[in-house]
Amino acid sequence: MENKIQYNVGDTIQYTAILYKKNEKIETSFIGNITSKRYRYDVGDVGIYVAPLYVLYCGEWYKTLFQPPKNKYFLYPHLLMKPEYIHHLPLYFLDTITSVSAIVSSKTIDLDELNV
């Protein structure tokens, strides 16, 4: 099985993940930048971390006000992994990645505010 992940740090991708809103988890589309790869010494690359730039919320695209996490336990960036390496939940898979659509939105949404 090929262990090489075909996406690179800095790539912009569209993917499916969870938008955390208070006590609600909404599965939706995001557009984000790959910030780093998840690596296992015995097999190589098994996933990617993606910082969300845009989120599809209530049928409209919003630019996110994403702040990098300040502590160990964080909701974003998202972790997308190969299905055979299920060790972390919630988990989003690399197979949800699609081509990036052109997004033009003047609306913004604060991801941290939604989760208050």
- When the pLDDT of each residue in the chain is averaged and rounded to a whole number, the result is 76
What CA–CA distances, in Å, run from 77 to 19, 54, 62, 65? 11, 12, 16, 12
* CB count in 10 Å sphere of residue 74: 10
pLDDT given for residue 51 in this prediction: 87
The CA distances from residue 27 to 17, 21, 30, 96, in Å, are 6, 11, 10, 12
Model confidence pLDDT, tens digit, residues 88-110: 554 566 777 877 766 667 778 77
- pTM, two decimals, is 0.73
Residues in a beta bridge with 54: 31, 63
Among the listed ranges 22-31, 33-42, 48-57, 80-89, which one has the minimum average pLDDT value?
Answer: 80-89
Instruction: Provide the β-strand partners of residue 60.
Output: 57
User: What integer pLDDT is reported at residue 91 of this predicted model?
Assistant: 54
Q: Is the pLDDT of residue 80 over 80?
A: no
